[in-house]
Chain A
Amino acid sequence: MTIFHTYDAVIVGAGGAGLRAAIEAIDGGVSTAVISKLYPTRSHTGAAQGGMCAALGNVEADSPEWHAFDTVKGGDYLVDQPAAQLMCEGAVEAVYELEHWGMPFDRTPDGLINQRRFGGHTRNHGEAPVKRACYAADRTGHMILQTLYQQCVKRNVRFFNEFYVLDQLMVDGACAGVVAYELATGELHVFRAKAVLYATGGFGRMFKVSSNAHTLTGDGPAVLFRRGLPLEDMEFFQFHPTGVYKMGILLSEAVRGEGGILVNSEGERFMERYAPTVKDLAPRDVVSRAIYQEIKEGRGVGPYRDATYLDVRHLPRDVIEEKLPDVTEFARVYLGVEPTREPVPVQPTAHYAMGGIPTDADGRVVLGPEETPVPGLYAAGECACVSVHGANRLGTNSLLDIVVFGRHGGGHMAGFARDAHPPALPEQPDGFVSDMVSGLLGRPEGHNAAAIRSELQGDMYDLAFVVRSEESLRKMQGILEGLRERYDRVYVQDQGKVFNTELMEVVELGFLLDCADSLVAAALAREESRGGHYREDHPLRDDDNWLKHSLTYREEDGSIRLEYKPVKMGTYVPMERKY
């Protein structure tokens, strides 16, 4: 029995972007529901560690303009500059707002919010690293998530926890609501809504080594992709240089911000060669490629020489214990390494999707090169592409992105919902999801989903990771076709309605396959190297041909169509990216 609900605004996802949007929507006076497949405090915002940048200038002189420059340069000039400017100017207020809501930032001796260095954040357009990241030990994301959730509890926000949104409802090209699957009961729920905001996070789980939670499967982007909406800049995925060896668990860039260094098998601080000015605090794409190069040239460490060391042994004990307690514990628990005495083996880990659902700076989902807004449809955070991160996101700018654009999106949707009429629902609004679920449950036998997922992750890691080529990407496309065929005959053993987590994992695998199709198609087409997208057969950036955003579409016949739109430029003219 499908259950029907009506709200002015529905927010899908309860991480930082979703919760910040919910606060804004509620405060904007519209009836609001937050639908999340997890309890909100389980969201992956809570795993962010190092900080949130804002040019407060509490410790060193700084300016939002320097922050914006770093963001544009860090993004290898694929950043839409007006959006980056908006974000960096809004950063200061965003940090103060969180502080007023109780966020327990670390403090200076004078009682101000303390700040630390982070990769790619510099003084005066690249002169030297600057202390810009506001932080709470190395659990800044946890504190932001908790603070935003607390504010939602205070406002009595209506949550639908452990509900999976599986379809977007559209009528005459405008948003009409969503359809969700309730994990506890297996029932379908139709949420009629004037406005819907997606804040479902990333899709790093398509790669074998990832810092992402198991649940980061690209649900929001895939739901819209299946409805014919485009995904932007999907080829740009960030590989964070310092994941726990083999497991991919994030070891924050704050480790290097506090003075940690990367060393190879010869004990050499190799980043001095790749980025003479900022060294270990170069942006993540630069550092990950440097690690790849060191390993390729035989200077890797570990049993298979496929890692490098992150070394903090020279740091004062209190810095390690007080400013980096969590990452220190990760090394102890998961590697059996004592960081105060031993270097920690690390390798690049799939971390962050720069691409996603195309939006404008108000969070409105936009279509095509003309950027036509879809009435009532919004996205914010990692699942969205504003684009403030361009081809490579700077560390800390994701926490900033979610609070700034969560707020903008939530505010705009509240305004829209106040004026809009309640939408009509399409006929049989739950038909698509109902067919999907009964199709998956109806097979007496079939392929094992875990095997498909494991091959997807392993092959994406081998063929579409830090270094790519036409050959590797074509091979991956072929593999994806085969995986898709098997997925179409996948078997779900659990036929129940109560907490059928197997069924939802299989649905999530389908979302991952869609995102991988999009990523690989866009990566194959882009014959240049820029930010997180490195093609060894086209190793240079090519502004003449490729200073543009990609859009991928799923066509009726299942193929992928590509389209491009210009980057919104501004003050900063593309120049060679040196650190």
Chain B
Amino acid sequence: MESDNLGDVLETSELRRAGASGNVVLTLRIRRYNPELRGEESWWDEFAIEIDPDDRLLDALHQVKWYHDGTLALRRSCAHGVCGSDAMMINGRNALACKVIVKDVAPKVTVEPIRGLPVLKDLIVDMEPFFQGYEAVLPYLINDEGEPGRERLQSPEERARFDDTTKCILCAACTTSCPIFWGDEEYVGPAAIVNAHRFIYDSRDRGARERLQILSERTGVFRCRTTFNCTEACPRGIEVTKAIQDVKRTILFERF
């Protein structure tokens, strides 16, 4: 290793992380809903807090909850973008609060619940319809050919075919960014199709026909109008719209 080179890097990295600029003031404008306190009307609250600009928006929401208003309700767990709990609409776009860095939204940020699912309290929505859509596509490996004494073989190319859609964390950011889903709750939505895709193109699976049948129905892939909202919203970088197009193409052009 060249230590000179490392020294240069060290200096620039340190400047970036030294927090020399100190805390910033962040104003959070949060859409509130609390049927026990205020009935069916939602309202807006604003909180101004001081925070390290390198912190996460989730940290800012915690600061509000922990030191300003304990009634603020949100879901969160891992705080680094892998559990899928804290999908919210942030400045009008769906994202995970734990993957948004304060300096990227300061001095003011608007936070609302994700759209298209019933709001239960503040930023918490009813996830049951979302998971029903997921379950509808038979999201598990189907193969009753008998199991070998060791692993089934799968080439790296076969494995790569469905790699992208295995990344899904079921956060609902895609489904609740979809204008079709907002207007038609019967539509299974992008996340369910992503999870169907993950099995349809898995060389070990034998359930593609059943899933494609489900997805060719009125509530399936052909509701999609290719607006790419879902792809933009996915915090895992999944090419959601492409996955939906894959499934459409298979239904249209291949016998199954």
Contact = CB atoms under 8 A, between A and B. Distances in A.
Interface string B139-161: 11100000101111111101100
B103 to A, nearest CB: 9
Contacts of B204: 102
Given A42-B85, A47-B82, A492-B70, A109 B156 contact: yes
8 contacts: A96-B151, A105-B159, A106-B159, A111-B153, A214-B77, A334-B101, A499-B121, A500-B73
B79 to A, nearest CB: 6
B25 interface: no
Interface in B8-27: 9-10, 12-14, 16-19
B246 interface: no
A573 to B, nearest CB: 34
A194 interface: no
B120 A499 contact: yes
A107 B162 contact: no
A104 B159 contact: yes
B199 A102 contact: yes
A136 interface: yes
B70 A498 contact: no
B70 A112 contact: no
A276 B179 CA distance: 59
A47 B82 CA distance: 6
A213 B153 contact: no
Interface string A336-359: 110001110100000000000000
A345 B82 contact: no
B83 interface: yes
A150 B16 contact: no
Given A46-B78, A496-B34, A498-B120, A104 B67 contact: no
B36 A136 contact: no
Contacts of B16: 336
A345 B151 contact: no
Interface string A1-44: 00000000000000000000000000000000000001101111
B252 interface: no
Interface string A303-338: 100000101001000000000001000100111110
Contacts of A47: 78, 80, 82-83
A448 B67 contact: yes
A60 to B, nearest CB: 17
Interface in A386-419: none
A281 B3 CA distance: 23
B77 A42 contact: yes
Interface string B151-177: 111111011001100111110000000
B70 A44 contact: no
Interface magnitude class on chain A: 35 or more
B93 interface: no
B78 A150 contact: no
A345 B80 contact: no
B63 to A, nearest CB: 9
B15 to A, nearest CB: 9
Contacts of B139: 150, 153
Q: SS class of chain B's interface: helix, strand, loop or mixed?
A: loop
A267 B8 CA distance: 12
Contact of B80 (A143, A334, A449): A334
A47 to B, nearest CB: 5
B234 to A, nearest CB: 13
A493 B155 contact: no
Interface in B68-88: 69-71, 73-85
The 5 closest A-B pairs by CB, nearest first: A102-B141, A450-B66, A493-B70, A267-B3, A111-B153
B99 A215 contact: no
A47 B14 CA distance: 28
B154 A107 contact: yes
A342 B9 contact: yes
A47 B80 CA distance: 9
A390 B11 CA distance: 41
Interface string B162-199: 11001111100000000000000000000000000001
Given A41-B170, A109-B156, A267-B3, A213 B13 contact: no
Given A47-B80, A333-B101, A345-B17, 18 more contacts: A38-B77, A42-B84, A102-B199, A106-B159, A107-B155, A107-B159, A214-B78, A215-B77, A245-B17, A267-B7, A311-B1, A335-B17, A492-B70, A494-B71, A498-B34, A499-B121, A502-B65, A502-B71
Interface of B: 1-3, 6-7, 9-10, 12-14, 16-19, 34-37, 54, 56, 62, 65-67, 69-71, 73-85, 99, 101, 120-122, 124, 127, 131, 135, 139-141, 147, 149-156, 158-159, 162-163, 166-170, 199, 202, 204-205
A501 interface: yes
A473 interface: no
A281 to B, nearest CB: 18
Contact of A111 (B66, B76, B154, B163): B154
Contacts of A139: 82, 167
B169 A104 contact: no
A334 B202 CA distance: 33
Nearest to B204: A102
A113 interface: yes
A150 B140 contact: yes
Contacts of B99: 333
A188 interface: no
A450 B139 CA distance: 40
Given A153-B139, A493-B71, A499-B120, A266 B3 contact: yes
Contact of B82 (A102, A109, A113, A142): A142
Given A39-B127, A99-B152, A502 B159 contact: no
A112 B54 CA distance: 42
Contacts of A448: 66-67
Nearest to B80: A249
Contact of A142 (B135, B156, B169): B169
B151 A214 contact: no
Contact of B73 (A99, A265, A501): A501
Contacts of B70: 492-494, 502
Contacts of B71: 493-494, 496, 502
Given A102-B205, A107-B155, A337-B13, A153 B83 contact: no
